[in-house]
Structures are given as C-alpha cells and as structure tokens.
Amino acid sequence: MSKETLSNPELKEIKPLKGKVAVITGTSRGVGAEIAQIFGFAGAYIIGSHVDPNKSARDDRVVERVGRLQMKSLLVDIAKPEDRQKFVNAVKKRKDPKVDILVLNASGGLEKGKPDNWAEVINIDAQQGMIDDLIDLMPMGSKIVYLTSEYSEKYGKVEQPPGYEPVARTKHLFEQRLKEQIQNLEKRGIKVAIVSAAIIRDTATFYLFQRHSPEWVERIRAKMKQKDFPTPLDMALAVNYAVLDNDAISGKRYFVGEKLAEPKK
C-alpha cells in the first residue's frame, strides 16, 4: 500500500512518524487542524499554534482530538519575533530538543485592520522568520513543508480570484525565496516540499470567496470534473505524504485536486 493511501487506523498502527517532532503553524482549524490530527495518528509530537485568544476553545478541541500528551498548542503571532521564540522555547524544553518537520501553514493578507504591508509581513517575513528561528534545531533528515496555492505559484500568468492579489503575490515571492535556499538547506540535511491546490473548501479563504464573489466560485466549480473542491483533509493527507516521501528531490511540488487557474488575459 502506498504512503499516500494510508488510512487513519493504518497510521495509528504503523506510526511512521513515531519519535518525530513537528511544528505546525495555524492548527486551530481547517488544514492545520487536519495536519495535526494526521501527524498525531502517525505518532509525531506536535507543537502547533493559533493567533486568536478568542478562539482558544476551538484550539483546545484540536489538542483533545490529537491527545494532550502528543500535542502542545501555543498562542503565537508568527509575525512577531518574540512570539516565534515561544516555539523555540517549547522545543528546547523537551528531552530531545529538535524539529523534524516544520509545516508553514499559517498565512494571511486579507485581514481587516492590518497595516498596508501586512501581506508582505505575514507571507514573507514571518515565514522566513520561522525557518531562521528553528533551523538550528532541525537535524539531518528533517523537512520543511510549505503550503501555497496554484494562484500563488502561477502569479503573473493567471487571473487571480477577486481580492486575492496581495496574498498570491507575496506567497509567490516567498516561494521563490524558499527555492533559492534549497541548496543551502540540503547542505544541512534539510529538504523542502511544496504542497498546493487551486482552492480548498471549508477554509477561511474559501468562505471569503463565497461571501464576496459567489458567482466566481460557482463559475470555477462548474469547470471541475469532480464538481467540488478538495477538503482540508485532502490537503493534510498530501502534506503527510510529502513528509513520508523521503526519496523525493528537495523542492518537489505535491498538487491537490484539479488545476483551475485561468490564463491571464
């Protein structure tokens, strides 16, 4: 059976990530919550994060599902260096202070009440900060997994979803920066995997599209062969596969669902 099709019971039995420590940003909901649960089934110890103290109860439910002995969640704004230090401190408190897997899931750029350069801060500076702050704790054989979208990957070549341009542009820029670091990361024994999709339903971005541009969502859905978008679980399973795919070259992209971006006119 391939790594891609391992079910939850099989992950629990085989535990391919037993002994591994995973740092995952944005674990209170959506894709991040699903990644945490799958990694927990696979035996990893998880250090996750959420940014909104008003949603701590939701984050607690994720920790309960994964298991309190297997997951610790921190209130962290990854855009703040002093907050990112909380990840470092949590790792160093462990008997075996290491980060085998770093999943860069949390991002943004469309939030209200933020500075004009917020998309750059959260999607470029904060992502690079996570790597810089944790890299000395990452042993040989560890992996960085970056989550992005088809619209970000192909920025400048495809039409963007309504209002999404700042996110796509900055995530595209960070992906290029990450690729430029692959050679140096490989010298340290660290591989990079990129997991992307066009649209993942039941996420904050998807709900934003539905609320402000439902006609655009339905037009894109009408193009699909499967007639619906992938779920957060689909994305999380791809992340799990990317982590287990040890023979892949660094920088390999794992695409979830159908490619839906339309060429720029």
| Percent of the chain whose predicted confidence (pLDDT) is above 90 | 81
Q: Predicted confidence band at 140 (pLDDT cuts at 50, 70, 90)?
A: very high
The pLDDT score that the predictor gives to residue 1 is: 29
- Kindly tell me if the per-residue pLDDT of 2 is higher than 60: no
Give the domain 3-200+233-255 fold. Answer: Rossmann fold (3.40.50)
DSSP classification of residue 95: S
pTM: 0.94
Give the number of other CB atoms < 10 A from CB of residue 214. Answer: 10
Q: What secondary structure does DSSP assign to 184-226, as a single string?
A: HHHHTT-EEEEEEES--SSSHHHHHHHHH-HHHHHHHHHH-SS
Residues near 186 by Cβ (< 8 Å), separated by ≥ 6?
250
Q: Predicted confidence band at 6 (pLDDT cuts at 50, 70, 90)?
A: low
Q: If you average pLDDT over residues 201-223, what whole number do you get?
A: 91
What residue spans define the domains of the chain?
3-200+233-255
pLDDT tens digits along 84-138: 999 999 999 999 999 999 999 999 988 888 999 999 999 999 999 999 999 999 9
Q: Which two three-digit tokens encode residue 91?
A: 């790792």
CB 210 within 8 A of CB 220: no
The pLDDT score that the predictor gives to residue 3 is: 45
Indicate the average pLDDT of the chain.
93
Q: Predicted confidence band at 9 (pLDDT cuts at 50, 70, 90)?
A: low
Handedness of CA 248, 250, 255, 256 (dihedral sign): positive
CB 236 within 8 A of CB 177: no
- Kindly tell me if the per-residue pLDDT of 204 is higher than 50: yes
